[in-house]
Amino acid sequence: MRRAYILPYEIDGNKFLVTIIVFPETWIKIVAMIAENDKVSKDMHLALLKENWNLFEVTYSIDGFGNLFSENDLLQTTNFDNFVSEFQAVVFGVKNFFEKVAPSFQLKASGTYDRNHAAWV
């Protein structure tokens, strides 16, 4: 059975949920939804891949519904310093998206705090 820890987080005045999902015996996934699928264009996909290449520790991903996330995966055997680094990278990924990627697509910063997060937990 996996466990999820959901933390409200404010980034530049917008509320997001950073979710830590612990999978049995192996992985920890840290995710923050950046935008729902109706805000994510196909042209944005290329920009996100470029950002993945340019940034250390930041990973942009799109789920099966087309929703955009900043996320990182790490082994449960990781140490606390590495966990903190991965967590901070997820938060930085949200901030970076709205500062560097979103303006090219006329997308304004908007929190996803009130979205249904049950799909990925």
**pTM score, whole prediction:** 0.87
Residue from 26, 110, 27 nearest 68 by CA: 110
For the segment 92-112, what is each residue's pLDDT rounded down to a tens digit?
Answer: 999 999 999 999 998 877 766
For the segment 55-65, what is each residue's pLDDT rounded down to a tens digit?
Answer: 999 999 999 99
CB 97 within 8 A of CB 55: no
Residue from 78, 74, 72 nearest 60 by CA: 72
Walk me through the domains of the chain, giving residue ranges and CATH numbers.
Answer: 3-120 (3.30.1460.10)
